[in-house]
Amino acid sequence: MQVHTRTEMSRRTLLGLGAGLAAGVATASTGFSIFSPRAAHAADEFELIRNRYVELLVGPADADTSHPDVVETIQSMTETTTDLLAAVVPGPGRDRVFESEPLVDITDASHIQTTALNLASMAKSWAAPGSPYQYDDELGSAIVDGLQTLHDLQYNVDTLEFDSWYNFEIGAPRGILEAATLVGGILPDQLRADLAAAVAHFVPDPKYNYPPYDDRHKLSTGSNRLFLCQNVLVAAALVDDAERIQLAGDGVPDAIALTTSGDGIYFDGSYIAHTNVPYTGTYGRALVTSSSYVLAMLGGTQWDLDPAEVDPFRHSIVRTFVPWTSEALTMAPVCGRAVGRQNNTSAWLMGSILTLAEGAPEDLAREWQGHVKGWLQTATAVNYFALRPLSEALLAQKLLDSDVPALAEAPGPRLFPEMDRILARGDGWCVSLATASTRTRGFETQGGENLKAWHQGSGARYLYLESEQAQYIDWFPTVDPYRMPGTTVDSQRHGQSSGGRGGFAFVGGSQVGGTRADDGFYQHPAYAGWVQQLKDYGGDMTAKLSWFFLGDGIVCLGADINGGSAGDPVETIIENRAIKTDDMQRWFINGAAVGESGQDGWRATVPGVRSMTLPGSAGFVMLDGPRTVEFVRDARSGAWADISNGRSTQVHTNTFHTAWLDHGTQPDGASFAYLMVPLVTPDEAAAREDDPGVEVVRNDGAVQAVSAPHIGFVSANFHEAATIRGGPLVVTGSAETCVSAVRTQRHRMEIAVADASQLHDEREARVAFPRGHRIRPVYADPTAEVSIDGNELTVTIDSSAADGRSHHVEVEW
């Protein structure tokens, strides 16, 4: 079969580079790459792909591994290999390779995958430069014999898939192919051919999940598609099969293309998997991992992809993945059911972005590397070098020694309306919110994971601090899942969680104070409003919630809180934080320390609360008068197995400070309003009691709105068509519309209008300026139509794209 070459432009992008995929790695200025000249000078392109795969896994054979950080990585690999070697079952006629992983008469296919991945771990030690096991004869024989046993007993062309498809199509073949490629020089030719044939048997076409004989046979998407392509590509390279390499390459473009529906990356930076789950942090980061391998192996070969097929994905990295990393962790709102696992550190994403930089255009590569360098330099709760493979450790070590400047994410809010998520950054902190609508799920429970997720999408608020990075490590098994911070909930008890989709469409927001990129993306907003019309999980309690992001703090509003179960109170959880530092031991209420709050078991109902502060964490200022707040300090214990079947049974304990408002049972129109200011001191919070810097303009079932005169910001979420006065402006909005405005210069203002429900083809907002103002428009998005009548501006937006974006206009007077 003739192999069709992609464009010559694509070939020139990555060929002729002295150190493998040098294009875009900024080799002239940073001088580091995981690809050696030897890999680039392979005798043919099949060998080049194999050599690159080896170096993607363990780095070049002659790499300098003497750096202490890299030594730590090798030590971790060595310890794992020693344990695995000790677990190998010896002798012919065995029914397994490892003692705890049977391969005969099994119904659980995970034993096949685990066996394969164990062999891959051993093979990495066998091939790794600096490893005490490098090219060890005993280890090499154990790996080859293990691959033969695994093939003979299970992974062969005569076996039909059973249990989970993932084990046969992604997990097991990945381990098998890593091991086979790494020990390629001692792998018998027949076994090599048999393993490649087995992969072709289980994955005849990487564009599909499940075998053709299975009723579930369907198109694959996202990271699953790319992992399938990766497995087909490596298996084909093992046996010089150009036709199947072409098949793998042809499956890649659709998996990394931006989308406007279903699974994938959206223009606004959202990432959806499983149809409606925000999944940037797990399936999304897996997409970065798998794409980095596939693009690196194909780069510069006759099967390389056209830049037009790859560049939109590359440009999405900073929009989609960088914002959701907070030094040590990938943030919970975009991790789906994986919050029930113990592996949401940022190390995986760091390493994958570094690998993806191999072969990327120079400006993008340096930007990605700059962000990773910033994380590496500031992360204290994660040991990157103990968690990532050798090649990624080598890249990270060279990055830290390079002249690439470290970067930090810009302050301000970031809106992701396509997945109903928002985050905001300030100096040393980041707050993220998980909301849900009829379009998306606030949480995912699947496969026995994340079984107590009832309120994770009900406005759950997560505060990440650079100074206290361990907050969410072992947090989910120990936190009270009925009191997720930031939520308003009916406190009735539930069984195992399921579903997770929101009950209303009106979820989203508007943003102002930023800039427009060349492609029209609105970036780096300074201020924003966000809304969630909420229906409580498993009940009939409803509420209208809004958040307004003011730079140094967030206004949290709740209104029209109604219904609920007959015997359980409705609660708004102001805080539920694990005590991780000495500063955080006691509450300060109205500026004064509450000594008893430093004692375990403390419970109190405190009336007249105007402000409350956990030093080193955040302060809260009541905006609707003094409130009665419920407090408790308690130690909570739990294991990951309590929230996800099959996970660790090790018990973890955290002591929590929890504070909430009790709205009573079945409230009728209850409300709340408070300002949250991260890292504020008790004195600073108390000083804001009289001058919070923001006014709640309206907070009821029709409108939730605030005005911050000192920054010239007003923002309103209109549940119904209504009019509000915010500072000098009178703003009228259509139902289910979000409107924000900010003064950008003395006589200039930016206005944003958004259809947060994503149901309407057109929305309208009117802004009346003070009498005597002669206003004129100076800019309008192509989707915004502006008309002026005297001192009143009318903005009509074309929201037919149903993407929840903010439509911007600017005016002068």
Whether 683 shows a pLDDT value over 90: the answer reads yes
Q: Measure Cα distances from 166 to 122, 202, 209, 714 in Å.
A: 22, 10, 9, 50
pLDDT on residue 306: 94
Task: Read off the pLDDT of each residue in 700-718 and give the average, rounded to a whole number.
Answer: 97
Q: Examine the domain organization and report whether 597 and 725 are in the same domain.
A: no
pLDDT on residue 25: 32
Q: What is the maximal distance between C-alpha atoms in the chain? A: 94
Domain membership flag for residue 639: yes
pLDDT on residue 359: 78
Q: Examine the domain organization and report whether 670 and 813 are in the same domain.
A: no
Domain membership flag for residue 668: yes
pLDDT on residue 405: 96
Distance, C-alpha 229 to centroid of its chain: 23
Interatomic CA distance for residues 404 and 420, integer angstroms: 34
For the four alpha carbons of 194, 198, 201 and 205, in that order, the dihedral sign comes to negative
Among 793, 813, 808, 694, smallest CA distance to 745 is for 813
pLDDT on residue 3: 30
Among 394, 258, 278, smallest CA distance to 338 is for 278
Domain membership flag for residue 104: no
Interatomic CA distance for residues 692 and 623, integer angstroms: 8
Helices within 379-410 (DSSP H only): 384-387, 390-400
Phi, psi of 401 (to 5 degrees): -90, 0
Domain membership flag for residue 305: no
pLDDT on residue 19: 33
Q: Which domain holds residue 795?
A: 695-813
pLDDT on residue 342: 83
Phi, psi of 122 (to 5 degrees): -65, -40
Whether residue 235 contacts residue 227, with contact meaning beta carbons closer than 8 Å, is answered with no
pLDDT single digits (tens) 483-527: 999 999 999 999 999 999 999 999 999 999 999 999 999 999 999
Q: Examine the domain organization and report whether 486 and 632 are in the same domain.
A: yes
Active site residues: 274, 283, 337
pLDDT on residue 425: 98
Of the three residues 692, 712, 738, the one that is the final residue of a domain is 692
Of the three residues 692, 712, 728, the one that is the final residue of a domain is 692
Domain membership flag for residue 342: no
More confident residue, 25 or 683: 683
pLDDT on residue 218: 94
Whether 8 shows a pLDDT value over 50: the answer reads no
More confident residue, 496 or 39: 496
Q: Examine the domain organization and report whether 655 and 723 are in the same domain.
A: no
Q: Examine the domain organization and report whether 751 and 641 are in the same domain.
A: no
Whether 752 shows a pLDDT value over 60: the answer reads yes
Domain membership flag for residue 333: no
Q: Measure Cα distances from 646 to 98, 113, 202, 643 in Å.
A: 20, 16, 26, 10
pLDDT on residue 33: 73
Residues 6+ apart with CB under 8 A from 654: 474, 475, 478, 479, 578, 579, 635, 636
Distance, C-alpha 335 to centroid of its chain: 6
pLDDT single digits (tens) 756-796: 999 999 999 999 999 989 999 999 999 999 999 999 999 99
Q: Examine the domain organization and report whether 629 and 482 are in the same domain.
A: yes
pLDDT on residue 524: 95
Of the three residues 641, 659, 692, the one that is the final residue of a domain is 692
Whether 13 shows a pLDDT value over 60: the answer reads no
Q: Examine the domain organization and report whether 542 and 628 are in the same domain.
A: yes
Q: Which residue has the tokens 């037919």?
A: 800
Q: Examine the domain organization and report whether 561 and 654 are in the same domain.
A: yes
Task: Read off the pLDDT of each residue in 327-355 and give the average, rounded to a whole number.
Answer: 93
Task: Read off the pLDDT of each residue in 468-489 and give the average, rounded to a whole number.
Answer: 97
Across all residues in the chain, what is the average pLDDT? 93
Q: Identify the band that residue 328 occupies on the pLDDT scale cut at 50, 70 and 90.
A: confident
Coil, helix or strand at residue 425: strand
Q: Which residue has the tokens 């923002």?
A: 715
Q: Measure Cα distances from 81 to 53, 71, 375 in Å.
A: 20, 15, 29
Residue type, 460: A
Residues 6+ apart with CB under 8 A from 343: none
pLDDT on residue 492: 97
pLDDT on residue 15: 26
Task: Read off the pLDDT of each residue in 34-57 and give the average, rounded to a whole number.
Answer: 86
pTM for the complete prediction? Answer: 0.92
Q: Examine the domain organization and report whether 569 and 609 are in the same domain.
A: yes
pLDDT on residue 10: 28
Q: Examine the domain organization and report whether 688 and 702 are in the same domain.
A: no
pLDDT single digits (tens) 101-138: 999 999 999 999 999 999 999 999 999 999 999 999 99
- Look up the CATH number of the domain holding residue 504: 2.70.98.10
pLDDT on residue 32: 62
Whether residue 26 contacts residue 366, with contact meaning beta carbons closer than 8 Å, is answered with yes
- Look up the CATH number of the domain holding residue 740: 2.60.220.10
Q: Examine the domain organization and report whether 583 and 708 are in the same domain.
A: no
For the chain, what is the domain count? 2
Percent of the chain with pLDDT over 70: 96
Q: Examine the domain organization and report whether 704 and 626 are in the same domain.
A: no
